[in-house]
Amino acid sequence: MDRRGFIAGAALAGLAPLLGSGAAVAAAGGRLLPRALQPGDTVALVSPSSPVDDSLDLMLAAEVLEALGLRVRPGAHYGDRRGHLAGVDAARAHDLNAAFADPGIRAVVCVRGGSGAARLLPLLDYDVIRANPKVLLGYSDITALHCAIQARTGLVTFHGPNGSGSWNSFNADQFRRLFFGRELMHYRNVAEAGDELVQRRNRTMAITGGRARGELVGGNLAVLTALAGSPYMPDFDGRILFLEDVSEAPYRVDRMLGTLKLMGALDRIAGFIFGECTDCGPGEGYGSLTLEQILDDHIRPLGIPAYRGAMIGHIRRQFIVPVGGRVEMDADAGEFRLLEPVLRG
């Protein structure tokens, strides 16, 4: 029996008749699995965080999904703007709630990240989300939605490219294999030796070797730690924590990992995967720790399997990671793989 135990599992199973025919509670961990997608399905395009700078990005996001064989239904307020936010909180939350409630919509794709998703968490209808489990895709600031929905419903969601992001062949291929094919994905960095004698780019490095199994939790480090002390922080017990970030000075990464340590989260995880921290260098001089030193200080003493360099984060080609999916990680090989399906047929 897993960490939630028999009582929690039985309680969630007992809720299944109340959730409707579309809500199947997975046997392990009380997880809710969304349905797989098929070409021709309708997906909602929503803006829970920041607006785009150019309406062309909204057009491109829709065209990407159509090129994947899907039909697109934009949220009523997906093109709104209020300062650094894609409209007022109530309108952005309305689009999310409406997308989950609509039986004709099979997935919810976020236009972009930025800032503001955490403002919506008290406004989301978690009963509706629980009763209508469907794919939610996005990353960066969308981490707030992944964490809250995982904590409040157990629904597996997906940390991966936003609609307005890069949809290169690698990302598109992952989308088809995972969401259409229900493939048990094996997440291994692409080898890019180029004209170098040995591979330099896309390298992983073990912090502490070994293998671990558990459900994935995490996302953007800054967004995750900002939820500390709230009811929207997910459970860390026995989990595999994955993290990424962008444009954060090393001292801030150090402080945020320190927050996770002080709140007891790091002491409860079974494994650790660090993706890319893009534009997070220490700068010139010797006034900063490096990211390697910071990870050695916070992660190595845990004695759990851990590695860095996974293709997760603000990078052109990125893994589509199922938040709540059960995986096995191999820190020495720098890879992880799904142990169970994360989508229903």
Active site positions, annotated: 140, 244, 314
Percent helix, percent strand, percent coil in the chain, to nearest 5: 30, 20, 45
Locate tokens 């030193």: which residue?
293
Q: Any bridge partners for residue 155, and if so which? A: 32
C-alpha–C-alpha distance, residues 341 and 125, integer Å: 26
C-alpha–C-alpha distance, residues 77 and 91, integer Å: 6
Helix (H) or strand (E) holding 274: strand 271-278
Strands 335-338 and 326-330, how do they pair? Answer: antiparallel
The Cα-based distances of 210 to 141, 204, 205, 272 in angstroms read 31, 14, 12, 11
C-alpha–C-alpha distance, residues 342 and 136, integer Å: 12
Residue type, 1: M
C-alpha–C-alpha distance, residues 265 and 284, integer Å: 32
The Cα-based distances of 221 to 24, 130, 260 in angstroms read 30, 26, 10
Question: Left, alpha or beta for 108 (phi > 0: left; psi -120 to 50: alpha)?
Answer: beta
C-alpha–C-alpha distance, residues 132 and 155, integer Å: 10
Q: Are residues 31 and 154 in contact, defined by beta-carbon separation less than 8 angstroms? A: yes
Dihedral sign (CA 58, 48, 337, 311): positive
Q: Are residues 256 and 292 in contact, defined by beta-carbon separation less than 8 angstroms? A: no
